[in-house]
Structure formats: structure tokens, C-alpha cells
């Protein structure tokens, strides 16, 4: 982990949101106490709504993005309702643990990277394949390769190329590695953070990330990518630099952006 990593974790909106819920707790207690003194008793749901209201107000004050206010407000009552539903259905606590572990292994550092798992599809893979220079073997990587669909597809289409993917979250990485093994694919899947790679080792870098990641991606690509290499990003543009080409894939809002180095 780099020295900047703990700072990035504390700055992550999800971590700040959690801290604000903790900060809201004594304010909620004080509010419920004052209301009780004034003769207004709260149900458990009322208490959860007061907690949510304080957390939402603090999130607004702290400058979190507007959608966090709704999430912060709804989180405590949603937790309470889930608990009541579990009691009604007699679900064992282990069911919550199992769901939590599944989500953890699927999303892993999404709270920090702000890039969740979401797959691209066949039409995107076809568009990417059409953009690859056909006259020479290439080293191609999907940074954040998910279940490995794009890499496995390109490995089939381009037997002359070296295909790899890198993925941070353990479950998608495991699934992609197993898919490669079971299908006898040459594609390689690494588990790790693409920040640790040198993009200079690749001719083509493909990214399907999120708006939050694009500034950092551009700075890394500009530092490391070699002349003649290509950066592709599905759906998300880079504010700092206009793309050299745009290809419409699934619909007019979802574009494959291309930068030539």
C-alpha cells in the first residue's frame, strides 16, 4: 500500500458517510431525549428517522454529493426494516454475514475507488476489436477486468495478441481466472490494482471504470504510455483531454472513447 493510500481511504465518500452517521448518533440521542422531555415519545422507526435526518444534515454540511443526503437519510430506517423483516422470516444472523461476505468479495475496494463492478457487453467487445490494429501482434490489458468477458473474447478473436486483465476484487478475479482455465484460454488474469502497473508495457489499455477514476487514469496514461499505443475508455470521457476518436456502441449515450499516443 502506498503512503497516499490511507489518506485516500479517509477521503472516500463512503468512509466519510459512515463517520457522519457515527457523529449523528449523539445528536440523535439528544434530540430524542429533548422530544421525550417535551412529552413526544418516538417509536424505533421515529428514532431511525431522526438519526437519518441528522446524518443527512451533516452530509450536506460536509459537502458530500447530493445523492448522499438521500442515502444517509434512508440508511437507518432501511437497516431497521431489514432487521424486522429478518425477524419476521426467522432468518439466522449468518444469512446477513453470508450476504455481507459475498458483497465484500464482489465489490472489495469500491468504497475507495468509486468504481463498482458492472460488465460491458458483446457489442462493446466487438467495437473494441474493430479498433485494434490488425497488422501486428499487440499487448492488450483490461484494467478492472471484472468477470473477464472482454479479455476472453479478444483472446479468441486475436490469437496473435497477448491478452491480460487486472482486477482488484477477489470474486470477479477468481471467476475470470476459472473461466480462462476451464475454456483453455491463453488470457491471463492478475489480481491487483492497475495503479501498480506500468502502462508502458502495453500497446492497448482498455478501461471501463467511472467518472471518479478518469482524471487519475489520464495522468497515469500521459506519464507512461508509449508513442503508438492506444487508450480506450467505454462510457466515461476524460475532462482533461478530448478523445482522438469516438465510436458509438450500444446507444448514443454510451460511447467508446479513444486516445492515440
Ligand X SMILES: C[S@@+](CC[C@H](N)C(=O)[O-])C[C@H]1O[C@@H](n2cnc3c(N)ncnc32)[C@H](O)[C@@H]1O
Cell numbers for 132, please give them: 485494434
- Cβ burial, residue 130 (10 Å; 0-12/13-18/19+): exposed
Maximum pairwise Cα distance, the chain: 80
The answer to whether 52 touches 77, Cβ cutoff 8 Å, is: yes
Which grid coordinates belong to 230?
A: 492506444
Cβ distance to ligand X smaller for residue 52 or 146: 146
Copy the grid coordinates of residue 155: 483472446
Q: From the CB of 49, what's the least distance to ligand X, in Å?
A: 34
Shortest spacing between CB 145 and ligand X, in angstroms: 5
C-beta nearest to ligand X: residue: 144
Q: Which of 190, 199, 114 is nearest to 151 (CA)?
A: 190
Location of C-alpha cell 431511525? 48
Region of 18-26, 116-124, 177-185, 244-252 interacting with ligand X (CB under 6 A): 116-124
Nearer to ligand X, 60 or 107 (CB): 107
User: Judged by CB, which is closer to ligand X: 107, or 261?
Assistant: 107
Residue 10 CA to residue 256 CA, distance in Å, equals 32
Q: Among residues 40 and 212, whose Cβ is nearest to ligand X?
A: 212
> Number of residues in contact with ligand X, rule: CB under 6 A?
23
Return the residues of window 163-202 that contact ligand X according to CB under 6 A: 166-169, 172, 193-195
Q: What is the binding site for ligand X (CB under 6 A)? A: 113, 115, 117-120, 142-146, 149-150, 166-169, 172, 193-195, 208-209
Amino acid at each position: 500500500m502506498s503512503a497516499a493510500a490511507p489518506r485516500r481511504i479517509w477521503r472516500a465518500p463512503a468512509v466519510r458517510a459512515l463517520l457522519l452517521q457515527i457523529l449523528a448518533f449523539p445528536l440523535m440521542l439528544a434530540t430524542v431525549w429533548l422530544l421525550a422531555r417535551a412529552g413526544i415519545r418516538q417509536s424505533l422507526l421515529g428514532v431511525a428517522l431522526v438519526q437519518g435526518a441528522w446524518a443527512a444534515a451533516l452530509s450536506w454540511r460536509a459537502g458530500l454529493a447530493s445523492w448522499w443526503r438521500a442515502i444517509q437519510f434512508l440508511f437507518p430506517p432501511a437497516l431497521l426494516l431489514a432487521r424486522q423483516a429478518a425477524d419476521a422470516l426467522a432468518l439466522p444472523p449468518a444469512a446477513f454475514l453470508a450476504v455481507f461476505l459475498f458483497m465484500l468479495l464482489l465489490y472489495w475496494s469500491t468504497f475507495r475507488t468509486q468504481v463498482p463492478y458492472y460488465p460491458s457487453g458483446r457489442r462493446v467487445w466487438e467495437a473494441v476489436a474493430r479498433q485494434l490494429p490488425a497488422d501486428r501482434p499487440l499487448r492488450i490489458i483490461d484494467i478492472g477486468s471484472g468477470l473477464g468477458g472482454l479479455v476472453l473474447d479478444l483472446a479468441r478473436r486475436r490469437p496473435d495478441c497477448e491478452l491480460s486483465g487486472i482486477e482488484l476484487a477477489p470474486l470477479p478475479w477468481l471467476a475470470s481466472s476459472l473461466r480462462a482455465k476451464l475454456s483453455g484460454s491463453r488470457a491471463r488474469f492478475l489480481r491487483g490494482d492497475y495503479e501498480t502497473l506500468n502502462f508502458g508495457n502495453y500497446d492497448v489499455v482498455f478501461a471501463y471504470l467511472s467518472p471518479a477514476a478518469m482524471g487519475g487514469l489520464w495522468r497515469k496514461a500521459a506519464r507512461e504510455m508509449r508513442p503508438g499505443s492506444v487508450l480506450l475508455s467505454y462510457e466515461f470521457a476524460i475532462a482533461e483531454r478530448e478523445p482522438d476518436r469516438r465510436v458509438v456502441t450500444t446507444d448514443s449515450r454510451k460511447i467508446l472513447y479513444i486516445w492515440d499516443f
